[in-house]
Amino acid sequence: MTLKGMTRRDALRAGVAGAAASALPLVNVHGQTSGGRLAVGFWDHWVPAGNEAMRAIVDDWSKKNRVEVQIDFITSVGNKLLLTTAAEAQARQGHDILAFSTWLVQDHQRMLEPVDDVMGRLVQKYGKVNPVSEYLGKVGGKWMAVPASSGSQNKGSAARIDLMKQHAGIDVQAMYPAETRLGPGADQWTWETFLTAAQKCNAAGMPFALPAGTFSDATDWIGAMFRSYGAELVNAKGDITIRSNDKVKQALDYAARLFQHIPGEMFAADDATNNRALIANRSALIFNPPSAYAVAKRDAPQVAEQVWHFPSPMGPAGHYTPHLPFFWGIWNFSRAKPAAKALLEHLSQREQVEKLVAATDGYDIPAFDTLTDLDTWSTVGPPRGTVFNYPVKPHHKAEPSIAFAPAPPEVAVQMYTQGIQAKMIARMVQNKEPVDRVLAWAEREVEGFNR
């Protein structure tokens, strides 16, 4: 039985993996997998249908390849997934494959099995990987984990069609239509335009709900804004570039002006505050994946009908949309590495990605360039096509980005979890500190991360 299962897997590997497979140590498979068992910890998708679709795909694969797969869906709520990752790294046991959120591949790089072979084949087939996934998933030029579609998200604009038209005079649906072209006004969708719109909507009692606390919704959009002003706190080489950096000053100055029109309470907002604002018909725009929209569809359908998703604004130094990727990594203590790799490769095929994206109403963003044209994004509604522009598409001329890139990840992750940029803004706006003092403070903080 074991032997039979093994040869079948070999056959599979030969099919998918080609020549690379023959290099894999077969003894390993035979000696340690005990007939092929795989324990997988996936991210617990907030759309339950996402979990079901995943389970169906894996069950199917498991039957075909005679590998027994045990699946756990682990929530990221309450930092559960984070703790689980730390736990398994320390305990050196747990799952074979685990979902790694944003920065965790970097944190646990020495405990992960390189997946260059798998990634090489996937890139050949599906094109380039987006820069954020590459920045977070590669260590020293080697892929340490496979970018996962499941859970990867963008945090572009989710705005009210009616309110933006009525109060700000912007027809967001025309600007970013559900077609592969830009509409009128898209070239003017800058942070300055955004500020004027924020002002008008705030005056009309429908303020933009832009969080500026230490939760990731705040960190992500602020990071994209800084980047589109070219404002780097730490550059790619790891030098601190804060003091007398005009671009940082420019970004801060912009934020100070913008926050004149954002409710003060947003400095204490968490990741649910903006969703609630949109769903409760109290805000014209938030930066969020379509989760807010999906809940609105259930609880407040008349609001959902008016929600349109499109990229965040551009700045003088470029057009960046916040992107938070998930990865699937294989622990180096796993005893079923070949099977784990085969499963990950299977999950990354277009056919599977298509199913997963469809099951989650388009929430998931695949990392590969050629996979941003799936049908789901055109069909979800009402309004039909609301998430068409949710993934970054080639015609947007935008780039997915993560806050604090391209600083070296071990410094960037600390700036990220501490929400340094948001705190700088809070110091400017809430404490009314002069900009030089804010910069000096930030520099001292960042120096501490550089140890």
Which residue's CB is nearer to other proteins, number 175 or number 425? 425
229 in Cβ contact with 174 (< 8 Å): no
CB of 276 to other proteins, least distance (A): 6
219 binds other proteins (CB under 8 A): no
Site for other proteins in 63-92 (CB under 8 A): 72-80, 82-84, 86-88, 90-92
Which residue's CB is nearer to other proteins, number 17 or number 99? 99
Which residue's CB is nearer to other proteins, number 72 or number 192? 72
**Out of 12, 46, 62, 389, the residue judged to bind other proteins by CB under 8 A:** 46
CB of 11 to other proteins, least distance (A): 31
CB of 448 to other proteins, least distance (A): 5
Site for other proteins in 23-42 (CB under 8 A): 41
Q: How far is CA 203 from CA 19, 163, 168, 216, in A?
A: 64, 12, 10, 27
**Out of 22, 93, 235, 260, the residue judged to bind other proteins by CB under 8 A:** 93
342 in Cβ contact with 17 (< 8 Å): yes
How many other C-beta atoms lie within 10 A of the C-beta of residue 205?
11
Q: How many residues bind other proteins, per CB under 8 A?
A: 75
Site for other proteins in 400-419 (CB under 8 A): 410, 413-414, 417-419
* Nearest of 66, 200, 53, 155 to residue 401 by alpha carbon: 155
Which residue's CB is nearer to other proteins, number 233 or number 413? 413
What is the DSSP code (8-state) at residue 329?
E
Which residue's CB is nearer to other proteins, number 78 or number 141? 78
360 binds other proteins (CB under 8 A): no
**In this structure, what token pair is assigned to residue 437?**
């003092």
435 binds other proteins (CB under 8 A): no
**Out of 96, 107, 220, 232, the residue judged to bind other proteins by CB under 8 A:** 107
Beta strand spans in 8-114 (E):
37-43, 68-74, 97-101
* Nearest of 148, 243, 228 to residue 447 by alpha carbon: 243
Site for other proteins in 245-284 (CB under 8 A): 263-265, 267-268, 270-273, 275-277, 279-280, 282
* Nearest of 372, 75, 79 to residue 364 by alpha carbon: 372
Give the interface segment with other proteins, choosing from 103-111, 183-191, 196-204, 227-235 (CB under 8 A): 103-111
Site for other proteins in 109-128 (CB under 8 A): 110
| Residues with Cβ within 8 Å of residue 219, at least 6 apart in sequence | 403, 416, 419, 421, 422
Query: Interhelix angle for 337-347 vs 48-65, to 10°?
Result: 130
Which residue's CB is nearer to other proteins, number 90 or number 180? 90
CB of 234 to other proteins, least distance (A): 14
Which residues on adjacent β-strands are paired with residue 319?
Answer: 314
What's the rounded Cα separation, in Å, for the pair 340 and 97? 7
CB of 450 to other proteins, least distance (A): 11
CB of 280 to other proteins, least distance (A): 4
What is the DSSP code (8-state) at residue 141?
T
Can you list the alpha helix ranges (DSSP code H) found in 92-190?
A: 104-107, 116-126, 131-137, 161-163, 172-175
Q: 416-430: buried (b, 16+ CB within 10 Å) or exposed (e) per residue?
A: bebbbbbbbbbbbbe
Which residues on adjacent β-strands are paired with residue 364?
Answer: none
User: Residues 140-179 vs other proteins: string with x where CB under 8 A?
Assistant: ----------------------------------------
